[in-house]
Structure 1
């Protein structure tokens, strides 16, 4: 079993490039297509903690659903953001790479190398 996991959307070029970069480095990660198999509430919290960034950094702000659901409101709690991400997984930013060293959102792509 791989100790590297990528939360991946195969339709996203950045996500495809992150997967290719890992493979170029000789790493065959566990690939989770999060639109088909979204992470749980606890997993989202663990991933956010492992990035060292606020949970909001994992929310994809360029999706129409972001503004449609009022997620641009800075007063929303992490639990409210997680509820939205679980209900609408396309709101989860990608790619996210998780390793024993931590987790990184691959924007910019090279950031994933910090944890591999």
Structure 2
């Protein structure tokens, strides 16, 4: 299965998502989007395919979101996209693209919705939260 993750290795959610993909037996294409941001067309496509609005895809925490005035509700999608492409830290993460769909994997276990059920066993997030049991079944 061809899987692409737009990854920030400094982000725990992104690291957990990558680990869940690997737990499914998949080695994804990893794009460190801070160094290699998606094109405008790719970003617009991912946002639409994930069923999000552009504003939903803008990261607020630990970014210059407020300082840049991006909290202004009158800004257009084009203005938000311009800001995200100029400063990729504003792109929320991690986006994951698979043949089964696209997700902004926040929380990280949302990635399970677009992966085959081929998990190799238990999975526990970095913070100790158990996500999959020993048989690879999701813990609710």
When normalised by structure 1's length, the TM-score is 0.94
| Alignment partners' CA distance in 1, 2:54 and 2:99 | 19
Give distance in 2, aligned partners of 1:11 and 1:24.
20
Residues 5 and 97, structure 1, Cα contact 8 Å, conserved in 2: yes
Tell me the equivalent position of 2:38. Answer: 39
Deviation per CA, 1:8-40: give whole Å up to 9, x if none: 001111111110110001111100000010001
Structure 2 gaps of 5+ residues are: 116-140
* Larger helix share, 1 or 2: 1
Greater RCO structure (CA 8 Å; 6+ sep): 1
- TM-score by structure 2 length? 0.79
Deviations 1:30-56 (A, max 9, x none): 000000100010011000111011111
The number of residue pairs the alignment matches comes to 115
Equivalent positions of 1:37-116 (< 5 A) are 37-116=36-115
- Structure 1 runs of 4+ off > 2 angstroms? none
